[in-house]
């Protein structure tokens, strides 16, 4: 039940990478929401969510991501998830979010 986040802006590729470590759940999801809002208002660019070190996500976490996706889409920006583990990928697939948040190439 801990969530650590590291946001780095990649000048070369002109996007944010937000690396998430731990668990996104009903207790920690608000921290992800705040961090996504913070970086997107700092620099209104695409965001890559790196889920390499994410061990768990629940529907409140997915809700936060859907919210950010919607707000960013309005402004013409992309939100993309990379490196999701099997269990996280399963939830993205069940909910159809893989279709809009995961791309083979960016």
For residue 89, state whether it binds another protein (rule: CB under 8 A): no
Q: Write the Ramachandran bin of 71: left for phi over 0, alpha for psi from -120 to 50, otherwise beta.
A: alpha
- Residue 98 sits in the site that holds another protein (CB under 8 A): no
Identified binder of another protein from the candidate list 58, 78, 80, 89, rule CB under 8 A = 58
3-42 residues in contact with another protein (CB under 8 A) are 23, 25-27
What is d(CA 26, CA 60) in angstroms, rounded to the nearest whole number? 6
Q: In what order do the strands lie in the sheet containing 3-10?
A: 3-10, 15-24, 47-57, 79-82
Out of 9, 17, 56, 83, the only residue in the binding site for another protein (CB under 8 A) is 56
Contact by Cβ (8 Å): 63, 31: no
- Give the interface with another protein as residue ranges (CB under 8 A): 1, 23, 25-27, 56, 58-60, 62-64, 66-67, 69-70, 86-87, 90-91, 94-97, 100
């Amino acid at each position: 039940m801990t969530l650590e986040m590291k946001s780095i802006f990649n000048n070369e590729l002109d996007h944010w990478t937000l690396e998430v470590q731990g668990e996104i759940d009903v207790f920690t999801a608000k921290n992800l929401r705040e961090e996504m809002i913070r970086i997107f208002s700092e620099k209104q660019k695409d965001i890559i969510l790196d889920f390499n070190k994410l061990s768990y996500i629940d529907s409140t976490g997915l809700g936060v991501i859907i919210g950010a996706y919607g707000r960013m889409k309005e402004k013409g920006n992309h939100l993309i998830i990379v490196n999701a583990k099997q269990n996280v990928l399963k939830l993205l697939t069940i909910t159809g979010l893989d279709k809009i948040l995961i791309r083979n190439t960016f």
